[in-house]
Amino acid sequence: MAQADLLVDLVRNATSGDQLAFRKAAEGLIQEEKQKGHRLLAERLAKALQPNVAQARPSPTRPIGGAAQKELFYEITPERKLDSLVLPEKIRVQVQELIEEQHRSELLHAHNLNARSRVLLAGPPGNGKTTLAEALAFELMYPLIVIRYESLVGSYLGETSSRLKNVLDYARTQRCVLFFDEFETLGKERGDTHETGEIKRVVSSLLLQLDEMPDYVVVVAASNHPELLDRAVWRRFQLRIELPTPTRRQLTQYIDSIAKRCSVNFGYEAETIAKHLLGLNFAEVEEFCLGVVRRAVLDLKTEDAQQITKLKLEQWKGRLRPAVKRTEVVEREQEGTNS
């Protein structure tokens, strides 16, 4: 039955109170979504159809697949929305365009065009590359498959290439977002004289595999050191995004969003806290804010956590972290003031 007819039956049976017919129509819709490859959406619909009983929440990450695959990746159900991320507008627009292309891929196919499906994210650690990949998967309603390098990279000749092929073969069976963190591990420059022939063979195999991936598999690669990537690797990615260290204005917005999400009054303006934390990445700022939130909850001071925030700021001044050049901090300060 066409999806439109299933939806009409679903609404009709729901309004008439015919539970048996309603469930039959809903199950038909779920089956159709499975056949289209919309596995995550089908799972959500099936879960919504289940009786509303208290259940233990499953672990957000779990290794899956066959015996030869299950240790090579994790499949994660994404939970972060794109709107929850603090992104420069030009990056947000690019991501939204890719999402639209994926959602309307059938129209593009009718014109002999493919939806863009390969994204390269670059930038220092903690600036949101992994989070952006998760948000992309959430908006697409695709599962997020994360590669496990500790199991993927083997010590024997051809072992890594073979395992990589197994993972990509599995990804091709469904609509998904396939995420490679620290992508320079696999896509390193083949001209590097210090690298072994095995690594060069892995890169060559990876390039061939990427070329053969269908456009319904969105490949997202993240790298802290994009300068190490092979030049041929760059060409495979249609969308290349740099996520720089956040400006003061971005940190202000991010701190304010955490305060609202956690229902905690930090006792200081978000902009003031951002000034003290300028130079940190999003991950570090989130950890600072959650540290204040934890203490405020335990001390029953969520309505006014000013003293806790003040104490945490003093503690963070002496916190061990990578040195940031003063010139970089000044540049970010100026950028945040001018934006």
Helix (H) or strand (E) holding 16: helix 3-16
| C-beta separation of 268 from 307 below 8 A | no
Instruction: Say what angle helices 89-103 and 129-140 make with each other, to 10 degrees.
Output: 30
- Determine the average pLDDT of the residues in 207-233: 89
Q: What CA–CA distance (Å, rounded) separates 65 from 170?
A: 8
Architecture of domain 61-242: 3-Layer(aba) Sandwich (3.40)
Higher per-residue confidence, 17 vs 285? 285
* 125-138: pLDDT as tens digits: 888 999 999 999 99
SS (HEC) of 78-123: CCCCHHHCCCCHHHHHHHHHHHHHHHCHHHHHHCCCCCCCEEEEEC
Q: Hey, which residues does 76 pair with through a beta bridge?
A: 61, 144
Q: What CA–CA distance (Å, rounded) separates 182 from 184?
A: 5
The percent of residues in the chain predicted with pLDDT above 70, rounded, is: 79
Mean pLDDT of the chain: 81
- Closest among 241, 322, 324, 316 to 286, alpha carbons compared: 316
- Closest among 50, 69, 76 to 142, alpha carbons compared: 76
Higher per-residue confidence, 155 vs 110? 110
Burial class of 172 by CB neighbour count within 10 A (0 to 12, 13 to 18, 19+): middle
Q: How confident is the model at residue 252 (pLDDT cuts 50, 70, 90)?
A: very high
Q: What CA–CA distance (Å, rounded) separates 49 from 249?
A: 43
* 87-106: pLDDT as tens digits: 999 999 999 999 999 999 99
pLDDT value at 315 more than 70: yes
- Where do runs of H (alpha helix) occur along 228-325? 231-235, 248-262, 270-277, 282-298, 306-317
Instruction: Pinpoint the residues of the chain covered by CATH 3.40.50.300.
Output: 61-242
